[in-house]
Structure 1
């Protein structure tokens, strides 16, 4: 199936501000290939909606603090049920592992970025960023890749770090492309390598960094200052 014939990406918006959700819906529905299938301002509700709507990508705000209007017809929900975007991300991926989560937030602190990636988020985009950055992150996540906004990444790597595991120059190049959401095939094409060679590099990188998957590898490389995403 060609890209033009591919079904649109199903997106769920999770943000506790109604106006923000309305703006995001209008923005995403104006972009070819996107279909907003639902929205909510509540983390617990987001987990339920993921199970029911089966979105490809969830756009997740980190701070879900506005309780909004009372929810009628829903039992078992009281203040202790309120969860933030990090916990919602964990629960969503626990309930439906093939759903991708992209964090969209106003906060790009080091701690927030790392917590989001460690929870399983496939992207981290700041609300103040350009729309194209959001679109790229959604598409990269849906394809199994990962994308960090330059501003968010800069806040993570813009600090003194302890010396980390030594990666070769080629391995650093592979990790940089990994962080931009490239597939193994795309990395091979960009670096003029065989796809099998890329897989070999990834095995070595995982071993050196003590990681087991692409998201954790990018998180650890950023934490150690081995890559700078700009």
Structure 2
């Protein structure tokens, strides 16, 4: 994506004040164009169908059609749309569900305008991004190494330990590469390691992956 490319945005939130604030903040950036705002999940689905934006910023907690369901519906029809989920507070199950649905990242609504803008640009380019505050909150203390990994994270970890790239992991598990990148970030945080190699060693040392898979 070139530096002069304008990123077309749709914003979705059921709180009018939040929606207005996001619009004001993001309108200040020359490389953004807000093509529409929606006050709920169903409206977001319809609006994205009409406007076909580059990026959708969507609240996860909304009545009736929530953000997760809206993401599923939108990406089922328009997989090229990049989704950045927003949340007022971190709830592991909800955020994980959004990632599984296809969101490339999420931020707290308390993030600064510059942080939101940077995240939008990353997602628009096909990358993934996590709010820094998520890492310690998602990595619960746990009494044993890896006991707070979700089943999907264990699936990703087993393939990571086998030496597969994110692209190959995505193919095997039927996920988006961006989704795999987020799972890997969560795994590193929960295992308290800095890189994939350390995660693989730790996983094998603590029996978190099956020998037949890790050794293939």
Could you tell me the TM-score, scaled by structure 1's length? 0.69
Shift of 1:228: 6.7
Residues 61/145 of structure 1: CA separation in 2 closer, same or farther (3 Å cut): same
Is the CA contact (8 Å cut-off) linking 1:211 and 1:217 kept in structure 2? Answer: no
Is the CA contact (8 Å cut-off) linking 1:154 and 1:228 kept in structure 2? Answer: no
| Superposition pairs of residues 1-230 of structure 1, within 5 angstroms | 2-4=2-4, 6=5, 8-65=6-63, 82-160=64-142, 161-162=146-147, 165=157, 167=160, 201-202=165-166, 206=169, 212-221=175-184, 222-223=186-187, 225-226=190-191
Give me the whole-angstrom Cα distance separating, in 2, the residues matched to 1:40 and 1:203.
33
Give me the whole-angstrom Cα distance separating, in 2, the residues matched to 1:108 and 1:42.
20
Shift of 1:111: 1.3
Is the CA contact (8 Å cut-off) linking 2:104 and 2:182 kept in structure 1? Answer: no
Residues 95/140 of structure 1: CA separation in 2 closer, same or farther (3 Å cut): same
Gaps of 5+ in 2: 195-216
Give me the whole-angstrom Cα distance separating, in 2, the residues matched to 1:101 and 1:202.
19
Question: CA-atom RMSD, angstroms?
Answer: 2.7
Could you tell me the TM-score, scaled by structure 2's length? 0.73
Deviation string for 1:132-190 (max 9, x for gaps)? 2211211111111110101123311233323854757xx7xxxxxxxxxxxxxxxxxxx
The number of residues matched between the two structures is: 179
